[in-house]
Structure 1
Amino acid sequence: MSSPCDPEYAPVGDIDAALLVIDSQLKAVYNGRSGPDPEQEQMVNQLTASLGPGGVEALVDGACTLIYMFMSWLRAACEEQDEDVIAHVVPSLVASMRMMPMSFRPEVIPTMTGLVVAAGTGLSPNLWRAQYGEWTGAEMTPLEATAVLLADHINRLAGDDHDFATRLITDALSRADQD
């Protein structure tokens, strides 16, 4: 039986824009800066300034799609090791969130954890979240940071390859374009 949160019913959103934002944040983290590279920040600012109301929604949907894709990759990697993806990812993710009170206020941690669990069990994170109403402004930074934390987790699993998660997505998008 199909779930109303099945990914086939979910909007994909603007994955390219979401990946640009996430990649910019990853580069800032890896370069030891508290913010993105000024050139990257300018690109992200231009991108977000060009978005209309539908563009912001597409960016949010794109971030949720990234979370889904990251968790799908992590689920496959965990299954190869006979591990449960939820047990592997969620405890360290929640611990990281709790250490970042400026990005993750305590009240958004359950929602972001729920997004990750939904994606880890094969459900669409954005459709799962939609059950509880509209996105709030207070959830935007945690949503971005959740995608960054998952990408960083993947990069560390790939031997500290700082671009692995980004390549994972761009390769998947390239294959989808070819099909």
Structure 2
Amino acid sequence: MSSSCDPRHAPAGDVNAALLVIDSRLKSIYDSRAGSDPEQQRLTEQFIASLGPTGVHDLIDGACTLVYIFMKWLRMAHEDHGKDVIEYVVPSLVAAMGKMPKSVSPEAIPTMAGLVIAAGTGLSPSLWRRQYGDWTKDEMNPLEATALLLAEHINRLTDDQDFATRLVTEALSSVEQDR
């Protein structure tokens, strides 16, 4: 029986734009010399503002696709070691978000945890979230933080600061070659 949240029915969104935002944030975190780069932050915000309403919806769907891809990879990696991805990823993700009160309000944490659990069980995060209404402005930073924290978690597991970005880039290249 097919679920209404089956990823085959979900819009992929603008994965490239979402990856650009996440990769930019990762690079600013990893570049200890630069610290927080206000210019990079301004450029990212300017880019997002230039998207318009349709582009923003595509960016949100793209971020959800990233969450799905990251959780799929994490699920396979954990299963290879006889571990449950939900048990090992969600608690640390929730704890990390709890330490980010300027970016992630406490009210958004359950939604982001649900989003990650949906992806971790093979459901589309976009379609899962859609069941509860439209995205709110207050959920945009938490969604970005969720994708960022998952990417950083993957990079730490692999001891490779570019692994998560490369994972998505290679998946996108593979899709393009199949067309």
- Bucket of the pairwise TM-score, normalised by the shorter protein: over 0.9
Q: Which consecutive unaligned segments of at least 5 residues does structure 1 have? A: none
1:104 deviation in Å? 1.2
1:45 deviation in Å? 3.9
2:101 equivalent to 1:101: yes
Q: SS of the residue aligned with 1:102?
A: coil
Distance of aligned partners of 1:151 and 1:78 in 2 relative to their CA distance in 1, 3 Å threshold: same
Q: SS of the residue aligned with 1:106?
A: coil
1:29 deviation in Å? 1.2
Q: Which amino acid aligns with 2:111?
A: T
2:36 equivalent to 1:35: yes
Corresponding position of 1:148: 148
Corresponding position of 2:86: 86
Q: Which consecutive unaligned segments of at least 5 residues does structure 2 have? A: none
Report how many residues are paired. 177
Q: Work out the CA distance in 2 between the residues paired with 1:158 and 1:15.
A: 22
Report if aligned partners of 1:27, 1:37 keep a CA contact under 8 Å in 2.
no
Corresponding position of 2:71: 71
1:52 deviation in Å? 1.6
Q: SS of the residue aligned with 2:100?
A: coil
Corresponding position of 2:10: 10
Report if aligned partners of 1:22, 1:147 keep a CA contact under 8 Å in 2.
yes
TM-score (norm 1): 0.94
Percent of pairs with identical residues: 64
Q: Which amino acid aligns with 1:174?
A: S
Distance of aligned partners of 1:101 and 1:34 in 2 relative to their CA distance in 1, 3 Å threshold: farther
Q: Which amino acid aligns with 1:94?
A: V
Q: Work out the CA distance in 2 between the residues paired with 1:115 and 1:44.
A: 24
Distance of aligned partners of 1:134 and 1:19 in 2 relative to their CA distance in 1, 3 Å threshold: same
Aligned-residue CA RMSD in angstroms?
Answer: 1.4
Q: Work out the CA distance in 1 between the residues paired with 2:53 and 2:35.
A: 28
Q: SS of the residue aligned with 2:108?
A: helix
